[in-house]
Structure 1
């Protein structure tokens, strides 16, 4: 843009003799843009701090430096997985648990998880403080907002029964929750499954005292990967260099978000100004040491943890057909 502006100013001063220079300047800008390889990334939901590294990488020019022009789009109703599988997007955001049905059977989709956004599962059950739900057994007789998903209910059953509770006594209420804080304050429900980095931090920001337990703390099987970056299998096969270039640039974005969460939060809000400033800032601080946590390279997926969760699905009849070992993920495209 600077080149174009300079050319226009020069043309105004020197008249027709340098009009061609302005044209050449524009041509150079167009050539620069055309040299960038276009990549589409589809989100799983509206922008939030799970996505910050993506926006940082775009804002700071890491994608451009890697020869890429990245377009970030909202997901369709049927989710990011379908768009990525169809080749209409090269990358997207998903979750290991919700990926499972897409990996096997007649409706299998050609997608692969290529990076873990956060190293450990921070999701769990939140409730109003002091009402007996600090542990899973306390869910007996309480209203739990369920999505009515088989894997979800099986996980809740697992932790409740392991704590000596009776899952049949948990009152399953169809979830219509759009604002977790309001739902708990109004006592519409007693317990909600949340991702703490956003909804849990929001409880803190809005001053609601809560009890909370994480699934990963209760059963190591539930320390699966959520969320993950996915890519289309055909794209990975045909253009592995672009995949590596994208993930290298993306890793720089998440590394920056770790080192400077305040700056990263400002970049996210610039991209999504509708987000609450304090919530974004506090959520970003919460996630800063969780993106990479205990691994050397951002995005690394531990095969043991990945396989362990799918083995649990198989053993509990939650996948038909069963998911073979090492299905649905790779570390091959991460920076070495």
Structure 2
């Protein structure tokens, strides 16, 4: 989960270049990409299949990587028939090489998984991607820095003079510079090395690196499962501006405009899936394992169960309901990006809506 997500952080500039390339290849006016999105999303909404003598609207949902506990509610909704009850036939697919956001923007998927930080490059363009965040999967940013226990990196300042494995993303490095310097450290003295780590606890134990950016619900739990003593701090605890939304469910804008009722039905069924996972983490984890057709979770059953126990409490946390996006928190992060010249425009107020969520 962490690896799939943070690879996208390193691809921010690449994603931006792809957006401009797509715009250059498109037509004038609304653009070739938007036109294709309209045709594809409309066709998907109108394409129905018969199941038990009932017509079901086909929906394609693109993950951001291999299945993990961020996605559990989707598999629960699929396996318990919540989508079918809403008249939907939902297919969960893997992302293409160029990512879930581009697939969703092009209308090849009506919904997908993304994150607020990686969406920035998609929105910061004269031809922004045709996507909007419609639900928060987790209410708070559960990512932070994991290090060996006792190395003094239990706070950001402790990274001074230590080695950090980086994806060389502008947002990643600006975030680290901010938290390290605000904590009294010196980010210029942090040694940066390329991140090619696949097993974070093992890499720390072998002294391949001193500090790694991970999501606690997977990387942190994995360290406990491997009995590796680690220190960890959350970015959101250092500066509230970093309590942004990751991950989120995004939708194709044209699909939302043309089929708002179907979008609401999809999110209502998805909400039920995540609410079930909150109340029944063991059963929900088993449904995730059963629904994984990639084979990536085979042999990781104990990690999945442990991760689910933690992350089920994060789906709603202190929010009034699953999926709700707080405008103040969303806007605070995008304002920070603009203030630090990480976007060419101020994206405050852009890229999200709560209009399709149920009660």
TM-score between the two structures when normalised by the length of structure 1: 0.89
Where do 1:62-81 residues align within 5 Å? 62-81=82-101
Aligned to 1:326: 349
Q: Which residue of 283, 295, 317 corresponds with 2:341?
A: 317
- Distance (whole Å) between structure 2 residues aligned to residue 33 and residue 241 of structure 1: 22
2:311 aligned with 1:305, yes or no?
no
Where do 1:1-336 residues align within 5 Å? 30=50, 32=52, 35-272=55-292, 274=298, 276-323=300-347, 325-336=348-359
C-alpha contact 2:159 2:190 (8 A) present in aligned 1: yes
Which structure has the greater CA radius of gyration?
1
Deviations 1:123-157 (A, max 9, x none): 00000100111111111111101010000000000
Aligned to 2:11: none
- Distance (whole Å) between structure 2 residues aligned to residue 44 and residue 275 of structure 1: 21
In the TM superposition, residue 252 of structure 1 has moved relative to its aligned partner by 0.2
Change (3 A) 1:126 1:33: farther
RMSD: 1.3
Q: Which has the higher mean CA deviation after the structures are superposed, 101-110 or 196-205? A: 101-110
1:71 is paired with a residue whose SS is: strand
2:73 is paired with a residue whose SS is: helix
In the TM superposition, residue 321 of structure 1 has moved relative to its aligned partner by 2.4
Aligned to 1:25: none
In the TM superposition, residue 161 of structure 1 has moved relative to its aligned partner by 0.2
- Distance (whole Å) between structure 1 residues aligned to residue 306 and residue 197 of structure 2: 22
In the TM superposition, residue 104 of structure 1 has moved relative to its aligned partner by 2.3
- Distance (whole Å) between structure 1 residues aligned to residue 212 and residue 115 of structure 2: 18
In the TM superposition, residue 181 of structure 1 has moved relative to its aligned partner by 1.8
- Distance (whole Å) between structure 1 residues aligned to residue 246 and residue 261 of structure 2: 25
In the TM superposition, residue 34 of structure 1 has moved relative to its aligned partner by 6.6
2:208 is paired with a residue whose SS is: coil
- Distance (whole Å) between structure 1 residues aligned to residue 274 and residue 205 of structure 2: 34
Aligned residue pairs total 307
C-alpha contact 1:43 1:74 (8 A) present in aligned 2: yes
Deviations 1:55-94 (A, max 9, x none): 0000000000010000000011111100000000000000
In the TM superposition, residue 322 of structure 1 has moved relative to its aligned partner by 2.5
Q: Which has the higher mean CA deviation after the structures are superposed, 100-109 or 187-196? A: 100-109
Structure 1 residue runs of 5 or longer lacking an equivalent are: 1-28
In the TM superposition, residue 106 of structure 1 has moved relative to its aligned partner by 3.1
- Distance (whole Å) between structure 2 residues aligned to residue 33 and residue 225 of structure 1: 40
1:151 is paired with a residue whose SS is: helix
Aligned to 2:38: none
Change (3 A) 1:298 1:275: farther
Change (3 A) 1:283 1:45: same
Deviations 1:157-186 (A, max 9, x none): 000001111111001111111211221121
The 4+ residue runs of structure 1 with deviation greater than 3 A are: 29-34
C-alpha contact 2:50 2:56 (8 A) present in aligned 1: no
C-alpha contact 1:269 1:275 (8 A) present in aligned 2: no
C-alpha contact 1:292 1:299 (8 A) present in aligned 2: yes
